[in-house]
Structure 1
Amino acid sequence: MKTIEWIGDVDGHLRLLDQTALPEKTEFLDCRTPEDVFGAIRRLSVRGAPAIGVSAAYGLLLGLKDVADTSREEFDAAFDKVSTYLAESRPTAVNLFWAIARMRDVVAESNDMSSSDLRQRLLEEAREIEAEDREMCNAMGRFGAELIPEGAGVLTHCNTGMLATAGTGTAFAVLLAAHQAGKNIHVYADETRPLLQGARLTAWELLQSNIPGTLITDSMAGWVMKEGKIQAVITGSDRIAANGDAANKIGTYSVALLAKAHNIPFYIAAPSSTFDLSLPTGESIPIEERDPAEIGHGFGRQTAPKEINMYNPAFDVTPAEYITALITEKGVIQPVTTENVAKVVAG
């Protein structure tokens, strides 16, 4: 099952598996305009940093259909407009901006191309971004599986599999590779409040992949560690600063602190496209704040008084000192330092 798929040629459209319908229903969204893609990203029909990047690359093409036979000046103006628009869909996931920048570079380097030919070239670039993401997922799986002990209980937070990428995932790719290598792992998945990506999505992916797993609430993680059921923790990330500080779904910082307290290794798996080397530390990572209704009125039922103040940051930042290693498609970064990040990611 493809969670992201471009249907047709240059005049085609983007088809996305609607993650908001899972696990009850398997539904697809056909996106035919940039507005469709923007909406899908904002409401989390497509989510996960790599998946957002791939979707944005294809979304750019949807905004260029009306300028296929125009002058390059008109084409470039339309491209600038739609790229700026899509970049505003979510602020934290750096893959979004990375993918748009790659498409922007294609336009900048193709001054001698006609508008029609450039659209075709942009489609090729979007497909390359998608293919590269699949390859990066496989590589992260191979590198990360070596870090997972035989028979380990592995805790993960949020969703990092085929729903969050164009391939087998980031952290989930490591779990899948360890499982396929016969390491007899058992995955513990946090629910991941308030939108339950762990319960709705990761639990579904574990079943799809036949990986033994158990779903727990976020507040159970410390006790499950205390019981000795967890030998490793692995999550993904939406943006990693130059020193290794990593932003991920809210609750990740708490899990990292718990892992540190119980002397359990804490790993993050993310492709090199998730690193933002322009930010020296995680203090500069923008944190998206979402609608408080996700806390007080989630999934159609009021669960808190309307009058109470609510705060709903979608991400937190785990300092590098709590991260045992960063797993990338280029290799494992351990220990996590500015020097080692630069050596692996920029090397």
Structure 2
Amino acid sequence: MPIAAILALTELIAHSTAGTMFELVSALNSGAELLKQHTSNPISLSAGCDLFVAFVTTFAHESKSFFDLKRELVRQGQLYVKEASTSRSKIASLLLDFIPDDSVILTHSHSRVVTHALLHAHKQGNKRFSVYVTEARPLGLGLKTYQILIDAGIPCTVILDSAVAYAIGKVDLVLVGSEAVVESGGLVNAVGSYQMALIAKAANVPFYALAESYKFYRMFPLSQYDLPTHNDEILSLPTSLSSIRKPAMMSENPQLTMSDDQVNKNPGVDYTKPDLITLVFSDIGILTPDGVSLYLVGMFAG
């Protein structure tokens, strides 16, 4: 989504009639807001938009005219998107030495960068390892990760989200992807990542976050409730018992399941504090959470 946002804003510049930098940046900010309004989880998209707008405002150039400048910005945007396609391969290569032979890895839900790194370690790195992946309710995206790894010949088992503490004693390292890595050095990812990091910290198991640099986001949440995805409906309690709907009974398999209304009152992402993260693997290198903070400050300072 961040790459799609950068492409969209690049296209906006190509068709813009702006004659000054002020007009161009205003158009980009308006376009970014429009994109954010059309997604329920704008975090990673916002990271891409903010990154591109910061690039435009700090871009050093020697263009003879504003038209030439816009053309160069479009070229640079397209070039960045092309280079960004190699981000996951760079991260996979950096991670290789951190996966010991015969190790057991725990991952959460489905992350394309994590899956890419595991496939790379198995095929190119000839690493031998096994994987536990959480089911990741309510969407069950962990089953997608499971199928990809099994098809590649990597031993994998799906575990309940509530079984992470039970399984952690068998785990050598934890790998998670990211929606965004924020200015504090913390991580925004699929809900359940925070409790996984807490458990890994308590068990003294390394917790590694994998994040493409276009997911570095200049935001500084202090708690779960500072995330832009949080609203008053999430974790809301009923005002009266009469408003509570009983969970529906499944016809073929008589077991209780959450209603759509109950699912919608749960968060989709959570915030993992930087002190719980061992290292962040990115296409710009292996960083500590403090290193992410320094990189973001430098990037937005031009």
Q: Does TM, scored on the shorter chain, surpass 0.5?
A: yes
Tell me what 1:304 maps to. 258
Does 2:282 match 1:333?
A: no
Match of 1:187 in 2: 131
5+ long unaligned stretches in structure 2: 235-246, 249-255
Alpha carbons of structure 1 residues 103 and 251: separation in structure 2 relative to 1, 3 Å = same
Q: CA-atom RMSD, angstroms? A: 3.8
For residues 52-91 of structure 1, what are the alpha-carbon distances to aligned partners after superposition, in whole Å with 9 as ceiling and x for unaligned? 11111223356678x57x5747x94765532331144333
1:93-132 superposed Cα distances (whole Å, 9 cap, x missing partner): 25333354257449996792449x94x6555334323223
More contact order relative to length (CA 8 Å, sep ≥ 6) = 2
Q: Does 1:150 align with 2:101?
A: yes
Residue identity opposite 2:100 in structure 1: P
2:53 is matched with which residue? 101
Structure 1 equivalent of residue 34 of structure 2: 85
Structure (1/2) with the larger helix percentage: 2
Q: 1:208 to 1:241 in 2, by over 3 A?
A: same
Distance in 2 (CA, whole Å) between partners of 1:126 and 1:264 is: 39
The structure with the largest alpha-carbon Rg is 2
Structure 1 range deviating more: 239-248 or 283-292: 283-292
Q: Which of 206, 215, 228 lines up with 2:158 in the alignment? A: 215
Give the secondary-structure state (helix, strand or coil) at the position aligned to 2:127. Answer: coil
Residue deviations 1:20-68, cap 9 Å, x none?
Answer: xxxxxxxxxxxxxxxxxxxxxxxxxxxxxxxx11111223356678x57
Q: Distance in 2 between matches of 1:332 and 1:78?
A: 35
In 2, Cα distance between the equivalents of 1:81 and 1:343?
28
Determine helix, strand or coil for the equivalent of 1:189: strand
Residue 81 of structure 1 aligns to a residue whose secondary structure is helix
Confirm or deny: 8 A CA contact 1:56 1:86 kept in the other structure: yes
| Alpha-carbon separation, structure 1, partners of 2:90 and 2:284 | 8
Which consecutive residues of structure 1, in runs of 5 or more, have no partner in the other structure?
1-51, 162-168
1:267 and 2:208 aligned:
yes
Opposite residue 104 of structure 2, the aligned amino acid is G
Name the CA shift for 1:172/1:95 in 2 (closer, same or farther; >3 Å): farther
Given the two structures, how large is their TM-score scaled by the length of structure 2? 0.72
Q: Determine if contact 2:29/2:53 at 8 Å carries over to the other structure.
A: no
How many residues matched? 271
What is the deviation of 1:250?
A: 0.5
Partner of 1:196: 140
CA distance in 1, matches of 2:263, 2:161: 22
- Over 3 Å counting, the alpha-carbon distance change for 1:111 and 1:251 in structure 2 is farther
SS class of match (1:327): strand
